[in-house]
Amino acid sequence: MSHADAANPEVLKAMGELFVSLPHCRTLGFEYLGTVGRKPTLKVDWREDLVGNPASGVVHGGVITSIVDTTSAVSVAANMHDYETIATLDLRIDYLKAATPGKAIYCTAECYRMASQIAFTRAVCYHDSPDDPIAHGVATFMRGSNPKPMLQVEDKP
């Protein structure tokens, strides 16, 4: 896993690992595959209990929302110079086409503007290539959203 291009590689590594280890992300089975440039990629395998439409076997849109939210948060971490707490302010998902049952879903995100208080992100979800997306998401995050750090000092590497 490369974190070399991150604003602070150590922060990205720790936050990337933290975000996929959160209980909800573990429940869904998210995997952090790494970051290229400052664009992280996460993966979620198809699972019967993630299905939203039992007639088709297509994964629930909520899983897409969660992976977009999480990958976008990691993309913000790739632009952090030091540890900070962030919170999603808003999120929009466009469902471009139905996901294919049985196939893993990948999400790649980028933080295209890191302003002093707000971070702006965009993300795509896909099976085989980001050029053939199943969903597109944009989000904004509040920076320094809580004085209580998401990573406890003793957890920091």
Is 112 a binding residue for another protein by CB under 8 A? The answer is: no
Strand-pairing partners, residue 40, are: 35
CB of 85 to another protein, least distance (A): 8
Nearer to another protein, 65 or 100 (CB): 65
Show the site string, 65-84: x = touches another protein by CB under 8 A, - = not.
xxxxxx--------------
Among 1-9, 61-69, 74-82, 121-129, which window interacts with another protein (CB under 8 A)?
A: 61-69
| Residue 19 and residue 31 in contact, taking contact as beta carbons nearer than 8 Å | no
With CB under 8 A as the contact rule, the residue among 12, 59, 111, 123 that binds another protein is 59
d(CA 84, CA 80): 8
